[in-house]
Amino acid sequence: MRLDFYIAHATGLSRREVKVLIGRGEVSVDGDLRPRASLQLHSGQQVRCRGELLSLPGHRYLMLHKPAGMVSSTSDRDGASVLQLLPAELRRDLHIVGRLDVDTTGLLLLSSDGQWSHRITAPKSSCSKVYHVRTARPLTGQMIEQLCNGVVLRGEARPTLPAQVERLDACSLRLTIDEGRYHQIKRMLAAVGNHVEALHRERIGPLPLDPALLAGDYRALTDQEVALF
């Protein structure tokens, strides 16, 4: 396992932040204060950051900024999987916590802890998700009202739960939903006579996407972030 990955996963820091610490001489491996970020660690080696001995947590909890064009799947059978963005040693036993469409970007959670994931995705948890939506046509007051009240999706009889809608400009809005139906946002906009041009997930429950993460980047969640769910 690479040194920079080990420290990022043990501390919750981004790999960029870790590389800064390594460059400052604040990281040591078996007493060596000038290790390379790419150093491959071996079992039993002691890694210290600012004098504190580090260790990996039992379960893994990751935040990933999903780019467009990758599938939210543990298999690449249907296209390039987001797991390809992670080093091989990190992928073991990981699953995706609430998927995103191939063309949707933004916050994606991954974990090896099934019970934690279930608390987020179970319908009874009502864990809200916040999306930035860009539409093909201007949003009318009637469209906004329909989304706020709940709409009937094609092929379903039960309307969606009322959504929270913040209109950002003529063709974009911030939409908060408490459900996770199949292609729900796209189908909601279609139901009110519009079309989604771009979709980006900004938040899951109380956890926002880290603004420091560029598309394709990831980091370990902090203990405080894991405890939010």
**Do 184 and 177 contact (CB within 8 A), yes or no?**
yes
Positive/negative CA dihedral, 212, 217, 223, 228: positive
**Do 117 and 111 contact (CB within 8 A), yes or no?**
yes
Alpha carbon distance 39, 56 (integer Å) = 17
**Do 19 and 36 contact (CB within 8 A), yes or no?**
no
101 is catalytic: yes
Given 101, 178, 210, 217, the catalytic residue: 101
Among residues 127, 137, 132, the alpha carbon closest in space to that of 104 is found at 132
Alpha carbon distance 137, 42 (integer Å) = 56
> Could you tell me the two tokens for 173?
């809005």
Rg (CA), the chain: 20
Alpha carbon distance 186, 172 (integer Å) = 13
Give me the amino acid identity at 148: C
Which residues are annotated as catalytic? 101
